[in-house]
Amino acid sequence: MGIKEKILTKSLYVFHLSSGSCNNCDIEIIDCLTPRYDIERFGIVLVGSIKHADVLLCTGSVNRLTVPRIKVLYEQMPKPGFVVAFGSCGASRGLFKDSYNTGKPLDEIIPVDMYIPGCPPRPEAIMAGLLKLIDKLNSKGK
Amino acid sequence: MVYPGFLFSGAIGLLAGWFDRKITARLQWRVGPRWYQNFMDIAKLFLKETLIPDGASRMVFFAMPLLAIAGSTLASTIIMVINQTPGVTFIGDLIVVVYLMLIPPLALMLGGFASGNPLASLGGSREMKLMLSYELPFLLALVVPIAKAGYSIQLGGIITYQALHGPIFFSISGVLSFVVMLLCIQAKLGFVPFDMPEAETEIVSGMYIEYSGPALAMLKLAKAILAFALPALLITLYFGGIIFTASGILMSVLEYILILLLMIVIKNTNPRVRIDQAVRFFWRIPTALAVLAVVLAYLGL
Protein backbone atom coordinates (compact mmCIF):
# COMPACT_ATOMS: atom_id res chain seq x y z
CA MET A 1 0.00 0.00 0.00
CA GLY A 2 2.76 2.40 0.98
CA ILE A 3 4.43 2.49 -2.43
CA LYS A 4 1.15 3.15 -4.20
CA GLU A 5 0.46 6.30 -2.18
CA LYS A 6 4.05 7.39 -2.49
CA ILE A 7 3.89 7.29 -6.29
CA LEU A 8 0.49 8.96 -6.36
CA THR A 9 1.58 11.83 -4.15
CA LYS A 10 4.70 12.44 -6.19
CA SER A 11 2.68 13.42 -9.25
CA LEU A 12 -0.67 15.03 -8.54
CA TYR A 13 -2.45 16.36 -11.60
CA VAL A 14 -4.91 19.06 -10.69
CA PHE A 15 -8.09 19.86 -12.55
CA HIS A 16 -9.55 23.23 -11.76
CA LEU A 17 -13.34 23.54 -11.70
CA SER A 18 -15.02 26.86 -11.17
CA SER A 19 -18.50 26.29 -9.79
CA GLY A 20 -19.63 29.88 -9.97
CA SER A 21 -16.75 31.62 -8.27
CA CYS A 22 -15.96 35.35 -8.48
CA ASN A 23 -12.75 34.57 -10.40
CA ASN A 24 -10.54 35.61 -7.53
CA CYS A 25 -9.62 32.09 -6.44
CA ASP A 26 -9.07 31.11 -10.08
CA ILE A 27 -6.44 33.81 -10.48
CA GLU A 28 -4.70 32.80 -7.27
CA ILE A 29 -4.42 29.22 -8.56
CA ILE A 30 -2.48 30.47 -11.59
CA ASP A 31 -0.19 32.33 -9.17
CA CYS A 32 1.10 28.99 -7.89
CA LEU A 33 2.58 28.25 -11.32
CA THR A 34 4.59 31.48 -11.46
CA PRO A 35 8.37 31.56 -10.88
CA ARG A 36 7.97 32.78 -7.31
CA TYR A 37 6.03 29.74 -6.11
CA ASP A 38 6.56 27.14 -8.87
CA ILE A 39 4.38 24.27 -7.73
CA GLU A 40 5.76 22.03 -10.50
CA ARG A 41 8.70 21.34 -8.15
CA PHE A 42 6.44 18.89 -6.34
CA GLY A 43 5.18 17.35 -9.57
CA ILE A 44 1.86 19.17 -9.38
CA VAL A 45 0.58 20.12 -12.83
CA LEU A 46 -2.61 21.86 -13.91
CA VAL A 47 -4.35 19.78 -16.59
CA GLY A 48 -7.21 20.63 -18.91
CA SER A 49 -9.10 17.34 -18.93
CA ILE A 50 -10.75 15.72 -15.91
CA LYS A 51 -9.79 12.31 -17.31
CA HIS A 52 -6.12 13.06 -16.62
CA ALA A 53 -6.65 14.52 -13.14
CA ASP A 54 -6.03 13.21 -9.63
CA VAL A 55 -7.29 16.25 -7.77
CA LEU A 56 -10.53 18.10 -8.44
CA LEU A 57 -9.97 21.64 -7.22
CA CYS A 58 -13.40 23.20 -6.81
CA THR A 59 -13.69 26.97 -6.38
CA GLY A 60 -16.76 29.07 -5.77
CA SER A 61 -20.05 28.82 -3.94
CA VAL A 62 -21.92 26.05 -5.67
CA ASN A 63 -24.65 27.32 -8.00
CA ARG A 64 -27.85 25.41 -8.56
CA LEU A 65 -26.89 25.02 -12.21
CA THR A 66 -23.45 23.60 -11.46
CA VAL A 67 -24.60 20.89 -9.03
CA PRO A 68 -25.30 18.23 -11.72
CA ARG A 69 -22.09 19.18 -13.53
CA ILE A 70 -20.01 18.72 -10.39
CA LYS A 71 -21.52 15.26 -9.94
CA VAL A 72 -20.73 14.32 -13.55
CA LEU A 73 -17.16 15.59 -13.27
CA TYR A 74 -16.61 13.72 -10.02
CA GLU A 75 -17.81 10.51 -11.65
CA GLN A 76 -15.56 11.10 -14.66
CA MET A 77 -12.44 11.52 -12.53
CA PRO A 78 -10.40 8.28 -12.67
CA LYS A 79 -10.13 6.87 -9.15
CA PRO A 80 -8.17 7.15 -6.90
CA GLY A 81 -8.94 10.84 -6.99
CA PHE A 82 -9.37 13.58 -4.42
CA VAL A 83 -11.52 16.66 -4.04
CA VAL A 84 -10.28 19.94 -2.63
CA ALA A 85 -12.76 22.66 -1.66
CA PHE A 86 -11.01 25.88 -2.46
CA GLY A 87 -11.59 29.25 -0.81
CA SER A 88 -14.16 30.35 1.72
CA CYS A 89 -16.97 29.81 -0.78
CA GLY A 90 -15.93 26.27 -1.57
CA ALA A 91 -15.63 25.43 2.10
CA SER A 92 -18.75 27.11 3.46
CA ARG A 93 -20.44 29.07 0.63
CA GLY A 94 -19.02 32.25 2.17
CA LEU A 95 -21.20 35.33 1.98
CA PHE A 96 -23.44 33.74 -0.66
CA LYS A 97 -24.85 31.34 1.91
CA ASP A 98 -28.39 32.74 1.79
CA SER A 99 -28.42 33.66 -1.89
CA TYR A 100 -31.41 32.51 -3.98
CA ASN A 101 -28.94 31.01 -6.40
CA THR A 102 -26.77 28.80 -4.20
CA GLY A 103 -27.66 25.17 -3.94
CA LYS A 104 -26.03 22.82 -1.48
CA PRO A 105 -22.54 23.20 -0.01
CA LEU A 106 -19.91 21.25 -1.89
CA ASP A 107 -19.29 18.64 0.80
CA GLU A 108 -22.93 17.60 0.71
CA ILE A 109 -22.71 16.86 -3.02
CA ILE A 110 -19.41 14.99 -3.29
CA PRO A 111 -16.93 13.76 -0.65
CA VAL A 112 -14.35 16.47 0.06
CA ASP A 113 -10.87 15.42 1.21
CA MET A 114 -9.41 18.82 1.96
CA TYR A 115 -10.45 22.43 2.61
CA ILE A 116 -8.29 25.45 1.80
CA PRO A 117 -9.95 28.51 3.39
CA GLY A 118 -9.28 32.13 2.49
CA CYS A 119 -10.87 34.77 0.31
CA PRO A 120 -8.89 34.14 -1.84
CA PRO A 121 -6.29 31.82 -0.25
CA ARG A 122 -2.76 33.12 -0.63
CA PRO A 123 -0.46 31.04 -2.84
CA GLU A 124 1.44 30.05 0.30
CA ALA A 125 -1.81 28.74 1.76
CA ILE A 126 -2.57 26.79 -1.42
CA MET A 127 0.83 25.16 -1.36
CA ALA A 128 0.60 24.40 2.35
CA GLY A 129 -2.83 22.89 1.69
CA LEU A 130 -1.67 20.67 -1.17
CA LEU A 131 1.36 19.52 0.82
CA LYS A 132 -0.97 18.68 3.73
CA LEU A 133 -3.05 16.62 1.30
CA ILE A 134 0.13 14.77 0.30
CA ASP A 135 0.97 14.17 3.98
CA LYS A 136 -2.54 12.92 4.63
CA LEU A 137 -2.34 10.45 1.76
CA ASN A 138 1.08 9.25 2.88
CA SER A 139 -0.09 8.62 6.43
CA LYS A 140 -3.14 6.78 5.08
CA GLY A 141 -0.87 4.28 3.38
CA LYS A 142 1.02 3.40 6.57
CA MET B 1 13.29 -6.11 -24.78
CA VAL B 2 15.62 -4.59 -22.20
CA TYR B 3 18.66 -3.13 -23.90
CA PRO B 4 18.00 -1.59 -27.26
CA GLY B 5 14.29 -2.10 -26.96
CA PHE B 6 11.39 -0.91 -24.89
CA LEU B 7 12.90 -0.30 -21.45
CA PHE B 8 16.07 1.42 -22.64
CA SER B 9 14.42 3.76 -25.15
CA GLY B 10 11.52 4.40 -22.78
CA ALA B 11 13.88 5.40 -19.96
CA ILE B 12 15.91 7.68 -22.24
CA GLY B 13 12.73 9.19 -23.64
CA LEU B 14 11.33 9.90 -20.18
CA LEU B 15 14.64 11.47 -19.14
CA ALA B 16 14.43 13.60 -22.28
CA GLY B 17 10.92 14.60 -21.21
CA TRP B 18 12.27 15.65 -17.82
CA PHE B 19 15.09 17.57 -19.56
CA ASP B 20 12.46 19.40 -21.59
CA ARG B 21 10.44 20.30 -18.48
CA LYS B 22 13.52 21.35 -16.53
CA ILE B 23 14.94 23.55 -19.30
CA THR B 24 11.51 25.09 -19.87
CA ALA B 25 11.30 25.84 -16.15
CA ARG B 26 14.78 27.34 -16.06
CA LEU B 27 14.00 29.51 -19.09
CA GLN B 28 10.98 30.84 -17.19
CA TRP B 29 13.06 31.40 -14.01
CA ARG B 30 11.42 28.50 -12.24
CA VAL B 31 13.07 25.59 -10.47
CA GLY B 32 11.32 22.78 -12.30
CA PRO B 33 10.54 19.17 -11.38
CA ARG B 34 12.97 16.54 -10.13
CA TRP B 35 14.66 14.10 -12.48
CA TYR B 36 12.38 11.15 -11.75
CA GLN B 37 9.19 13.17 -12.23
CA ASN B 38 8.21 11.64 -15.58
CA PHE B 39 8.79 8.10 -14.29
CA MET B 40 6.48 8.90 -11.39
CA ASP B 41 3.83 10.26 -13.76
CA ILE B 42 3.85 7.07 -15.83
CA ALA B 43 3.85 4.84 -12.72
CA LYS B 44 0.94 6.80 -11.30
CA LEU B 45 -1.09 6.46 -14.49
CA PHE B 46 -0.67 2.68 -14.34
CA LEU B 47 -2.26 2.74 -10.86
CA LYS B 48 -5.33 4.64 -11.98
CA GLU B 49 -8.51 3.28 -13.50
CA THR B 50 -9.34 3.59 -17.19
CA LEU B 51 -12.66 5.10 -18.12
CA ILE B 52 -14.36 4.30 -21.40
CA PRO B 53 -16.39 7.15 -22.87
CA ASP B 54 -20.01 6.41 -23.71
CA GLY B 55 -19.98 6.72 -27.47
CA ALA B 56 -16.52 5.24 -27.97
CA SER B 57 -15.67 2.25 -30.09
CA ARG B 58 -13.94 0.09 -27.48
CA MET B 59 -11.68 -1.96 -29.65
CA VAL B 60 -10.08 0.89 -31.57
CA PHE B 61 -9.89 2.99 -28.41
CA PHE B 62 -7.79 0.37 -26.59
CA ALA B 63 -5.87 -1.07 -29.55
CA MET B 64 -4.42 2.28 -30.58
CA PRO B 65 -2.16 2.93 -27.55
CA LEU B 66 -0.69 -0.56 -28.02
CA LEU B 67 -0.15 0.07 -31.72
CA ALA B 68 1.50 3.43 -31.00
CA ILE B 69 3.91 1.96 -28.48
CA ALA B 70 4.70 -0.99 -30.76
CA GLY B 71 5.49 1.28 -33.72
CA SER B 72 7.80 3.64 -31.87
CA THR B 73 9.58 0.84 -29.98
CA LEU B 74 10.23 -1.08 -33.18
CA ALA B 75 11.61 2.04 -34.90
CA SER B 76 13.98 2.88 -32.04
CA THR B 77 15.11 -0.75 -31.78
CA ILE B 78 15.93 -0.94 -35.49
CA ILE B 79 17.93 2.29 -35.26
CA MET B 80 19.89 1.16 -32.20
CA VAL B 81 20.63 -2.36 -33.47
CA ILE B 82 21.89 -1.09 -36.82
CA ASN B 83 24.03 1.54 -35.06
CA GLN B 84 25.61 -1.21 -33.00
CA THR B 85 26.34 -3.54 -35.89
CA PRO B 86 25.96 -1.79 -39.28
CA GLY B 87 26.26 -5.21 -40.92
CA VAL B 88 22.74 -6.39 -40.04
CA THR B 89 21.11 -3.73 -42.22
CA PHE B 90 18.60 -4.80 -44.86
CA ILE B 91 17.49 -3.11 -48.07
CA GLY B 92 15.08 -0.26 -47.38
CA ASP B 93 15.36 -0.28 -43.60
CA LEU B 94 15.48 3.52 -43.64
CA ILE B 95 12.05 3.55 -45.30
CA VAL B 96 10.77 1.01 -42.78
CA VAL B 97 11.96 3.21 -39.89
CA VAL B 98 10.39 6.33 -41.40
CA TYR B 99 7.02 4.61 -41.80
CA LEU B 100 7.19 2.97 -38.36
CA MET B 101 7.63 6.45 -36.93
CA LEU B 102 4.44 7.46 -38.70
CA ILE B 103 2.44 4.84 -36.78
CA PRO B 104 2.24 6.61 -33.37
CA PRO B 105 0.65 9.82 -34.70
CA LEU B 106 -1.70 7.77 -36.89
CA ALA B 107 -2.68 5.56 -33.96
CA LEU B 108 -3.20 8.58 -31.76
CA MET B 109 -5.39 10.13 -34.43
CA LEU B 110 -7.57 7.01 -34.78
CA GLY B 111 -7.78 6.68 -30.99
CA GLY B 112 -8.92 10.28 -30.76
CA PHE B 113 -11.57 9.73 -33.43
CA ALA B 114 -12.70 6.53 -31.69
CA SER B 115 -13.21 8.29 -28.38
CA GLY B 116 -16.15 10.20 -29.84
CA ASN B 117 -15.20 13.50 -28.24
CA PRO B 118 -15.59 16.52 -30.54
CA LEU B 119 -12.39 18.14 -29.24
CA ALA B 120 -10.49 14.89 -29.79
CA SER B 121 -11.69 14.62 -33.38
CA LEU B 122 -10.78 18.27 -33.92
CA GLY B 123 -7.29 17.46 -32.65
CA GLY B 124 -7.21 14.40 -34.90
CA SER B 125 -8.10 16.38 -38.00
CA ARG B 126 -5.41 18.93 -37.13
CA GLU B 127 -2.88 16.14 -36.65
CA MET B 128 -3.78 14.79 -40.09
CA LYS B 129 -3.24 18.16 -41.74
CA LEU B 130 0.01 18.66 -39.86
CA MET B 131 1.19 15.21 -40.97
CA LEU B 132 0.42 16.04 -44.58
CA SER B 133 2.40 19.25 -44.27
CA TYR B 134 5.57 17.96 -42.59
CA GLU B 135 5.91 14.66 -44.43
CA LEU B 136 6.74 16.36 -47.75
CA PRO B 137 9.84 18.31 -46.59
CA PHE B 138 10.81 15.44 -44.26
CA LEU B 139 10.97 12.88 -47.06
CA LEU B 140 12.68 15.35 -49.41
CA ALA B 141 15.32 16.11 -46.79
CA LEU B 142 15.76 12.38 -46.29
CA VAL B 143 16.89 12.12 -49.92
CA VAL B 144 20.07 14.08 -49.13
CA PRO B 145 21.81 11.49 -46.89
CA ILE B 146 20.64 8.78 -49.29
CA ALA B 147 22.13 10.59 -52.29
CA LYS B 148 25.31 11.42 -50.36
CA ALA B 149 25.85 7.80 -49.38
CA GLY B 150 25.79 6.69 -52.99
CA TYR B 151 22.00 6.15 -53.28
CA SER B 152 21.88 3.66 -50.45
CA ILE B 153 18.52 3.33 -48.67
CA GLN B 154 20.14 1.28 -45.91
CA LEU B 155 20.94 2.81 -42.54
CA GLY B 156 24.00 0.56 -42.37
CA GLY B 157 25.17 1.87 -45.76
CA ILE B 158 24.80 5.48 -44.62
CA ILE B 159 26.71 4.74 -41.39
CA THR B 160 29.60 2.97 -43.17
CA TYR B 161 29.76 5.79 -45.75
CA GLN B 162 30.08 8.36 -42.94
CA ALA B 163 32.71 6.25 -41.16
CA LEU B 164 34.83 6.49 -44.33
CA HIS B 165 34.10 10.04 -45.56
CA GLY B 166 33.19 11.96 -42.37
CA PRO B 167 29.71 13.03 -41.21
CA ILE B 168 27.20 14.21 -43.82
CA PHE B 169 26.49 17.26 -41.62
CA PHE B 170 29.77 18.87 -42.76
CA SER B 171 28.56 19.84 -46.23
CA ILE B 172 26.23 22.55 -47.53
CA SER B 173 23.44 20.19 -48.49
CA GLY B 174 23.89 18.32 -45.21
CA VAL B 175 23.40 21.46 -43.12
CA LEU B 176 20.38 22.54 -45.19
CA SER B 177 18.62 19.20 -44.92
CA PHE B 178 19.50 18.94 -41.21
CA VAL B 179 17.72 22.25 -40.55
CA VAL B 180 14.66 21.03 -42.47
CA MET B 181 14.71 17.74 -40.58
CA LEU B 182 14.92 19.58 -37.25
CA LEU B 183 11.81 21.63 -38.07
CA CYS B 184 9.93 18.50 -39.16
CA ILE B 185 10.92 16.68 -35.97
CA GLN B 186 9.66 19.63 -33.96
CA ALA B 187 6.28 19.08 -35.61
CA LYS B 188 6.48 15.28 -35.30
CA LEU B 189 7.04 15.52 -31.55
CA GLY B 190 4.31 18.13 -31.22
CA PHE B 191 6.57 20.80 -29.73
CA VAL B 192 5.24 24.28 -29.41
CA PRO B 193 5.18 26.15 -32.68
CA PHE B 194 3.45 23.08 -34.14
CA ASP B 195 1.51 21.71 -31.17
CA MET B 196 -1.97 22.59 -32.43
CA PRO B 197 -3.11 18.91 -32.46
CA GLU B 198 -2.93 18.83 -28.68
CA ALA B 199 -3.09 22.55 -27.87
CA GLU B 200 -3.47 22.51 -24.11
CA THR B 201 -5.09 25.92 -23.78
CA GLU B 202 -7.35 25.68 -26.79
CA ILE B 203 -8.73 22.19 -27.32
CA VAL B 204 -7.57 20.77 -23.96
CA SER B 205 -4.91 18.25 -25.06
CA GLY B 206 -6.85 17.25 -28.18
CA MET B 207 -6.67 13.55 -28.95
CA TYR B 208 -5.58 12.59 -25.42
CA ILE B 209 -8.66 14.13 -23.85
CA GLU B 210 -10.67 10.93 -23.26
CA TYR B 211 -7.72 8.72 -22.36
CA SER B 212 -7.01 7.96 -18.73
CA GLY B 213 -4.98 5.52 -16.67
CA PRO B 214 -2.81 2.86 -18.36
CA ALA B 215 -3.99 3.77 -21.88
CA LEU B 216 -2.82 7.36 -21.40
CA ALA B 217 0.45 6.09 -19.90
CA MET B 218 1.05 4.01 -23.03
CA LEU B 219 0.41 6.95 -25.32
CA LYS B 220 2.80 9.08 -23.27
CA LEU B 221 5.42 6.33 -23.37
CA ALA B 222 5.04 6.05 -27.15
CA LYS B 223 5.66 9.77 -27.41
CA ALA B 224 8.66 9.53 -25.07
CA ILE B 225 10.18 6.71 -27.13
CA LEU B 226 9.64 8.80 -30.24
CA ALA B 227 11.46 11.67 -28.52
CA PHE B 228 14.40 9.30 -28.25
CA ALA B 229 14.12 7.67 -31.69
CA LEU B 230 13.80 10.81 -33.82
CA PRO B 231 16.97 12.56 -32.57
CA ALA B 232 18.72 9.17 -32.73
CA LEU B 233 17.72 8.96 -36.41
CA LEU B 234 19.14 12.46 -36.95
CA ILE B 235 22.43 11.45 -35.27
CA THR B 236 22.57 8.34 -37.43
CA LEU B 237 21.90 10.22 -40.66
CA TYR B 238 24.01 13.35 -40.13
CA PHE B 239 26.63 12.78 -37.40
CA GLY B 240 27.90 9.38 -38.43
CA GLY B 241 25.82 7.27 -36.08
CA ILE B 242 26.59 6.09 -32.57
CA ILE B 243 30.04 4.53 -32.30
CA PHE B 244 30.13 2.10 -29.41
CA THR B 245 33.33 3.20 -27.69
CA ALA B 246 33.51 5.34 -24.55
CA SER B 247 34.27 8.55 -26.47
CA GLY B 248 31.82 7.68 -29.24
CA ILE B 249 28.96 7.18 -26.79
CA LEU B 250 29.88 10.43 -25.04
CA MET B 251 29.83 12.24 -28.39
CA SER B 252 26.42 10.81 -29.27
CA VAL B 253 25.00 11.77 -25.88
CA LEU B 254 26.30 15.30 -26.36
CA GLU B 255 24.81 15.47 -29.86
CA TYR B 256 21.50 14.14 -28.54
CA ILE B 257 21.43 16.74 -25.76
CA LEU B 258 22.35 19.47 -28.25
CA ILE B 259 19.52 18.52 -30.61
CA LEU B 260 17.06 18.37 -27.71
CA LEU B 261 18.25 21.71 -26.37
CA LEU B 262 17.84 23.32 -29.78
CA MET B 263 14.27 22.01 -30.04
CA ILE B 264 13.40 23.10 -26.50
CA VAL B 265 14.72 26.61 -27.10
CA ILE B 266 12.69 26.84 -30.32
CA LYS B 267 9.72 25.56 -28.34
CA ASN B 268 10.06 28.17 -25.63
CA THR B 269 10.65 31.19 -27.83
CA ASN B 270 7.80 30.75 -30.29
CA PRO B 271 4.03 31.08 -30.08
CA ARG B 272 1.73 28.39 -31.42
CA VAL B 273 0.88 28.89 -35.09
CA ARG B 274 -2.50 28.19 -36.66
CA ILE B 275 -2.89 24.99 -38.66
CA ASP B 276 -3.19 26.83 -42.01
CA GLN B 277 -0.07 28.83 -41.18
CA ALA B 278 1.78 25.60 -40.39
CA VAL B 279 0.76 23.98 -43.68
CA ARG B 280 1.74 27.10 -45.62
CA PHE B 281 5.07 27.30 -43.76
CA PHE B 282 6.03 23.67 -44.33
CA TRP B 283 5.06 23.65 -47.99
CA ARG B 284 7.04 26.81 -48.73
CA ILE B 285 10.29 27.44 -46.87
CA PRO B 286 11.37 23.97 -45.65
CA THR B 287 10.24 22.35 -48.90
CA ALA B 288 12.19 24.89 -50.95
CA LEU B 289 15.24 24.40 -48.72
CA ALA B 290 14.93 20.62 -49.02
CA VAL B 291 14.68 20.81 -52.84
CA LEU B 292 17.75 23.05 -52.87
CA ALA B 293 19.60 20.59 -50.63
CA VAL B 294 18.68 17.68 -52.89
CA VAL B 295 19.94 19.55 -55.97
CA LEU B 296 23.20 20.43 -54.14
CA ALA B 297 23.60 16.82 -53.02
CA TYR B 298 23.06 15.68 -56.61
CA LEU B 299 25.83 18.05 -57.70
CA GLY B 300 28.03 16.56 -54.99
CA LEU B 301 28.26 19.56 -52.63
Name residue A43's amino acid.
G
**CA nearest A41 in B: which residue?**
B33
Per the CB < 8 A criterion, the answer to whether A102 and A80 are in contact is: no
Question: For A65-113, what is each residue's pLDDT tens digit?
Answer: 888 888 888 888 887 888 888 888 888 887 888 888 887 888 888 888 8
pLDDT(B90) > 80? no
Domain covering A2-137 in this structure, CATH number: 3.40.50.12280
**Mean pLDDT for chain B?**
83
What pLDDT is recorded for position B1? 52
Q: How far is CA B99 from CA B9, B90, B102, B104, in A?
A: 18, 15, 5, 10
Query: Residue A116: what are its φ and ψ, rounded to 5°?
Result: -120, 100
pLDDT(B3) > 70? no
Question: For B193-237, what is each residue's pLDDT tens digit?
Answer: 877 777 666 677 777 877 888 888 888 888 888 888 888 888 888
**Contact flag B44-A76 (C-beta cutoff 8 Å):** no
Peptide bond into B231 cis (omega under 30): no
**Mutation for A interface: B14, B38, B47, B115, most A CBs within 10 A:** B47
Domain ranges of chain A: 2-137
Q: Look at strands A45-47 and A55-59 and give their pairing.
A: unpaired
**Mutation for A interface: B22, B27, B29, B30, most A CBs within 10 A:** B30
Domain ranges of chain B: 6-299
The closest CB to that of B29, out of A7, A35, A80, belongs to A35
Q: Answer positive or negative: Cα dihedral of A88, A89, A92, A95.
A: positive
Question: For B14-41, what is each residue's pLDDT tens digit?
Answer: 888 888 888 888 888 888 888 888 888 8
ipTM over cut 0.90: no
**CA nearest A5 in B: which residue?**
B44
pLDDT(A142) > 50? no
Interface of B with A (CB under 8 A): 21, 25, 28-34, 36-37, 40-41, 43-44, 47-51, 200-201, 204-205, 208-213, 216
Residues of B in contact with A7 (CB under 8 A): 40, 43-44, 47
pTM of the model: 0.85
